[in-house]
Amino acid sequence: MKRALFIATVAYAALAASKVQAQDAGQTAQAAEEHPEGIGEIIVTAQRKEQSLQKTGVAIDAVSANALVSQGVTNAADLTRAVPAISITNGGGQVTSIFLRGVGNITNNAYFDAAISPNYDGVVLGRPTGAFSSAFYDIARVEVLKGPQGILYGRNATGGAINIIPNRPKLADRAMGFSLAYGNYDAIDVQGYLNLPVTENSALRLAAVRQKHDGYNRDGSDDQDRWGVRGQFLIEPTDNLSLRVAGDYTKVEGVGAGGSYTGKLSGIVLTPATFDEYEGLNTAAANTYRQTQLAAPGFGFLQPMKQQQSIDYTYWGVHAEAKLTTGIGEFTLIPAYRNTKGGSVFYGPAFAGALNNEEYGQFSTELRLAGKTGMLDYVLGGFYFDEKIQGNNSFNQEFVLPLQDYKANTTSWAAFGQLTANLTDRFRLIGGLRYTDDKKTMDGNQAAFVVLCGAADGIPNTPGTTPSSFAVGCAGAPGGRTNLPHFPSLLQPQDAYNFLVSNGYISGTTPYAAGTQVYPVIGYTAPPGQGSVVRKTELAVNDSRSFNRVTWRAAAEFDVTPQNLLYASVETGYRAGGLQIGGSRPDYNPEYITAYTVGSKNRFFDNRLQVNLEAFYWKYRDQQITYFSFSPNSGTVSNTNENVGRSTIKGFDIDVVAKPTRTTTVSAKVQYLDTRYQGLILQTLAPRDNFNCPRTVTSNNTPTGPVIQFDCSGRPLLQSPKWTLNLGAEQIVHLGGNLELVGTVNTAWRDNAWTNFNYLDFMQVPAYWSTSATVALRDNDGSWSLSAYVTNIENNRHLFQGQASPLGFAINNYTAPRTYGLRLSADF
C-alpha cells in the first residue's frame, strides 16, 4: 500500500515540477538564439529598470529559477548554496536572521529592524519573517544586492537587499505546470501554477505550494510544514498603461527550529555533553541532562521541558503595480499592505518555553518616474512606510520570567533621485541622493519575576542588601530547598503572581501591584538572613524617537567593449535607531556605512566565458548589533540592540562561468572577506560572564552584583568566513530523439566563521564542504522532466549558530542533514 501510494505520489508530482525548468528556459531563450553556443543572459531589475546582469554596474548576484532548483534551494535559508556572501538562520521562533558579508543581527524580537532589506515582488518587507522564506515558488529569480542600497532601496538596506521576483502573468499564453518532489524525512514539495488569458489584453496567474518534512531532530524540531497560494491579475488596456494586482497567503505550522545541548559553561570553560547534533532539547535524554544543571539566580536544579515547541503563523498581503508611459518617462506606483499574525513556543537557547504572541501589519507605497532627456537618464521617486506591531512575549528561564507587552509603530518616508549622465556612448557618470525620515514610537512594559535564593534578610531592594545567591543558594543551604518556584511559560504578570500564590510559594498577603515588589518565599529552612524571595521589577517604555539622514551615491561606468564593463562607486547607507524593552538602555542610535566598490563584468570568446570581478571596502560607524546583554535596570539578561564603535569589511569577489561546449557549463565563485570590529564593548554579570575577550569589572553595583565589561575589539564580524568557494558543473547528454540527460553538481566550501559575540570555541563553524547533485531526464523542449536529487552528500550537519544560554548551557543549531528524493515536473 505504501509503495503504491509513493508511486502515485511521484506520478502526480511528475506532472508538477518541470514547469520551473521550462520557465527558466523561456527567460534565456532570446539570449540562446543570439548565442546558441554561449552563456545565456539574466535580466534583472535591481536598478528599477530592466537590464542585463552583465550591464548592471552594481555588486549583485542573480540566481535564476532553474539554478535554484538544481542547487536544492527551496527556501531563503538555502540561498548560501548559490550566493557565497549570504547567511540566513533561525535559532527559534519565526524571525529570520539575515547576514550578508558579516552584517546582520541575531534576534527573536519582531521590533528590531534587519540590516539587509528583504523585498518581495517590489514590496519592502519590514520584518524578514517566514513569509520571506515561504515565497520561493513560481519565481523568476532572486537578486542579492551586496552593500548599501541607500538610494533606490534606502530603508535599512545598509548591508544590502534581497529581491524575490515571482513569475508574472503573461498575455495570450494559456499554460499550466506543476512540480512534485518526494524525499527522505517524508519530504513533500508540491508546486503548481496556472496562466490564463482572460481577454486579449488581460491575464490571470495562480500559483500554490505545499512543503512538508519530518523533523531532523529526535524531538521533532527542525521540521517544515507550510503551504501558500498566490494570485495575480494583469491588464494592459493600452500600450502605455498596465495594471497588475496581486495577493498571497501563507500558513506556517509545525514544531519549528531546534538545537541540541553542546555542554555546560563555567565562565568560558565548556564541559562537553555527549549528545550529537540530532538530539534536540526535548527528548528524555536531553531532559535528564537538563535536570543536572544548577541554575542562577534561584540556585536550584532545572526541571524537564514542560511544553512542546510549536509555531503557528499566517502571512498575507495584497499589492498592486501600475505603470504609465508618458512623454517624460514611465511612472510606476506600488501600493501594498502585508499582515503577519500568530504565535510560537520555542526553546531558543534552552529556555523553558519562550512564548511569542504577535501581530504586525505594514502599509507601504512607492511612486517612481524613470525616463530620459538628452544625455540624462533619471529615476525620481517617493516612498512611504507605516508599520504597526503588537507583541506579548515571554522568555521563560525557570527562575527568571521576563514578560513583555508592547505596541510599536514606525512611520518612514523618503524622497530620492538618481541621474545617469551618458557623457559618451561608452562612459557614464551616476549620482544619487535620498532623504529618509523615520519616526518610531513604543508603548510597552516588561515585568520580570526573578527567584533570588540566599538574599540578605530576604529584601534585595538596594545595593546594601545585595543577594548572595551564588555564595549560599537554596540547593547548598542547610536543609536544602523544598519550595523553590520554577516558573511555567506565561504571558501576563497577574498570571505569574497567581501561579506563585496558588502553588503555595508566596503567601499572597502582599497583593499584586505595579512597580517593584518583593515576595518572601514560604518554607525556607536556611539560617536567618539567607531567605528566599521572588523579586518583581517593571520597566515601562512610552516614548518616541525621530531620525533622518541624507544618503548619496556617486559612480562611474565605462564600456571597454560591448562585452566588457568597468565600474566604480561610493555609496552611503543608514539604518534608523529605535526603542526596545528590557535592554540595558531604552533606545539605540542609527548606524551609518560608507562603501567603496570597484568592479568589472566581462564576456570573452564569443560569449563562452564570463569573468566578473569586484573589490569592496565598507566602513561602518555606530553599527547596531544584537546580543544577550545584562540590564542593570531589570536584573535580567535579554536580547539587546546596541551600537558598537566601528567596523570595517573589505575583500573581493571573483565570479567565473564557462561554457566550453553547447552542452557543458562550469562555474566558480570565490569570496575573500577581512572583517574587524573596533570598539566592540559588551557587558554582563556573573555567572554569565562567558565572553572570550579581555574583561574589566566596573564599579557599577547592581542588586545582583557588579557589571563586567568585555572589550572584543579586533574580533571578526559574525557569519563572515574569510574564504568562500562555490563550484558548479552541468553536463547535457543527448540520448536521441527529444530526450536528454542533464547532470548537475554544485559544491561549496566555507571557511571558519563565528556565530555569536561570546567568541567561544564551540560557537565557531569549522571549515566544511557541502555538495549537492541532480540527474534529470527531460524532453529537450522543457515540457517535462524527471530528476533525482541529493543535497549535503557529505551528510555533515554544520553549525550555523552557537549560543551561550543564560541558564549556563552551550546550545548549537545545525543545518539540514543529507536529503534526497525524486522530482517530476511538467508544463502544458
CB atoms under 10 Å from CB of 462, counted, come to 9
The answer to whether 383 and 413 have CB atoms below 8 angstroms apart is: yes
User: Contacts by 290-295 with C-beta closer than 8 Å and gap 24+?
Assistant: 290/261, 290/350, 293/264, 293/807, 293/808, 293/809, 294/473, 294/475, 294/808, 295/397, 295/398, 295/399, 295/807, 295/808
Distance of CA 593 to the CA centre of its chain: 20
More reliable by pLDDT, 754 or 625:
754
Q: What is the band of 524 on the pLDDT scale with cuts at 50, 70, 90?
A: low
Give the amino acid at 519. Y
Residue 155's nearest CA partner among 344, 414, 349, 400 is 414
What's the CA gap between 102 and 90, in Å, rounded?
A: 16
Contact 146, 85 (CB under 8 A): yes
First and final CA of the chain: distance in angstroms? Answer: 30
Confidence (pLDDT) at 299? 79
Answer yes or no: are the C-beta atoms of 827 and 17 closer than 8 Å. no
The domain boundary, picked from 519, 539, 559, lies at 539
Residues 326 and 409 in one domain: yes
Residues 462 and 560 placed together within one structural domain of the fold: no
The pLDDT assigned to 50 comes to 80
Same domain for 535 and 424?
no
Mean pLDDT of 494-522: 91
pLDDT tops 60 at residue 515: yes
400 and 489 share a domain? Answer: no
3-state secondary structure of 8: helix
Domain that holds residue 65: 11-445+540-827
SS3 of 527, please? Answer: coil
Whether this prediction's pTM lies above 0.85 is answered by: yes
Tell me whether the omega of the peptide bond preceding residue 237 falls within 30 degrees of 0, making it cis.
no
C-alpha–C-alpha distance, residues 131 and 90, integer Å: 13
What confidence score (pLDDT) does residue 463 get? Answer: 39
Looking at residue 128, its amino acid is P
Residue 3 inside a domain? The answer is no
| pLDDT of residue 692 exceeding 90 | yes
Task: Map residue 638 onto helix, strand or coil.
Answer: strand
Last residue of a domain, one of 510, 539, 568: 539
Question: Phi, psi (5° rounding) for residue 2?
Answer: -65, -40
Q: What's the rounded mean pLDDT across residues 106-110?
A: 71
Residue 826 has pLDDT above 50, yes or no: yes
453 contacts 474 by C-beta, under 8 angstroms: yes
Question: Cell triple for residue 89?
Answer: 538562520
Residues 356 and 496 in one domain: no
Extended beta strands in 300-459, E state: 300-301, 310-326, 329-346, 354-373, 376-394, 400-422, 427-455
In a domain, 6, yes or no: no
Domain stop point among 539, 568, 599: 539
Same domain assignment for residues 484 and 439: no
Tens digit of each residue's pLDDT (9 = 90 or more) over 6-43: 333 333 333 333 333 333 333 333 333 344 578 888 88
What are the tens digits of pLDDT across the range 282-320? 999 999 999 999 887 887 889 999 888 999 999 999 999
Residue 5 lies in a domain: no
545 inside domain: yes
Task: List the CATH number of the domain containing 666.
Answer: 2.40.170.20
Closest by CA position to 402, among listed 817, 806, 9: 806
How far is residue 776's CA from residue 644's CA, in Å, rounded to a whole number?
50
Poorest-pLDDT segment among 165-169, 456-460, 648-652: 456-460
- Both 212 and 132 in one domain: the answer is yes
Of 50-64, 86-100, 337-351, 424-438, highest mean pLDDT: 424-438
Can you name the residues that pair with 553 across neighbouring β-strands? Answer: 432, 571
Q: Does one domain contain both 458 and 429?
A: no
Residue whose entry in the numeric block shows the C-alpha cell 560557537: 763
Grouping H, G, I as helix, E, B as strand and the rest as coil, residue 431 is: strand
Q: Is the pLDDT of residue 583 over 70?
A: no
Helix boundaries (H) for 96-225: 130-133
Strands (E) in 562-604, as ranges, are: 564-575, 578-579, 587-588, 591-604
pLDDT at 557: 96
**What is the residue type of 109?**
N
C-alpha 110/C-alpha 267 separation (Å) is 30
**489: its cell numbers:** 511559560
Q: Which residue has the higher pLDDT, 376 or 68?
A: 376
Q: Is residue 575 domain-shared with residue 513, that is, in the same domain?
A: no
CA 91, CA 403: separation in Å to the nearest integer?
Answer: 20
Percent of the chain with pLDDT over 70: 88
Give the C-alpha separation, 515 to 802, whole Å: 35
Tell me 508's DSSP state: S
For residue 134, is it within any domain? Answer: yes
Count how many domains the chain has.
Answer: 2
**CB-facing half-sphere around the CA of 644: CA atoms within 13 A:** 29
Distance CA 308, CA 217 (A): 14
C-alpha cell, 195:
496562466
Cell of 398: 525557570
Question: Are 556 and 525 members of one domain?
Answer: no
Average pLDDT, the chain: 86
Q: Is 166 part of any domain? A: yes
Distance set, CA 821 to CA 188, 189, 209, 683 (Å): 9, 10, 17, 47
Rounded to whole angstroms, the Cα distance separating 108 from 95 reads: 6
Residues contacting 654, CB < 8 A, separation 6+: 611, 612, 613, 668, 669, 670, 671
Residue 2 resides in a domain: no
Same structural domain for residues 624 and 502? no
- The pLDDT of residue 460 is above 70: no
High-pLDDT (> 90) share of the chain, %: 59
Same domain, 797 and 703: yes
pLDDT digit string (tens) for 220-272? 999 999 999 999 999 999 999 999 999 999 999 999 999 999 999 988 999 99
pLDDT digits (tens, 9 = 90+) for 761-770: 999 999 999 9
pLDDT at 133: 62
Between CA 430 and CA 714 the distance in angstroms is 35
Q: Count other Cβ atoms within 10 Å, centred on residue 761.
A: 11
Burial class for 579, CB neighbours closer than 10 Å (0-12, 13-18, 19+): buried
User: 276: buried, middle or exposed (CB in 10 Å: 19+, 13-18, 0-12)?
Assistant: exposed
Q: What is residue 589's three-state secondary structure? A: coil
Provide the residue type at 708 as one letter: I
105-109, 300-304, 410-414: which has the minimum mean pLDDT? 105-109
Quickly count: other Cβ atoms within 10 Å of residue 522's Cβ: 13
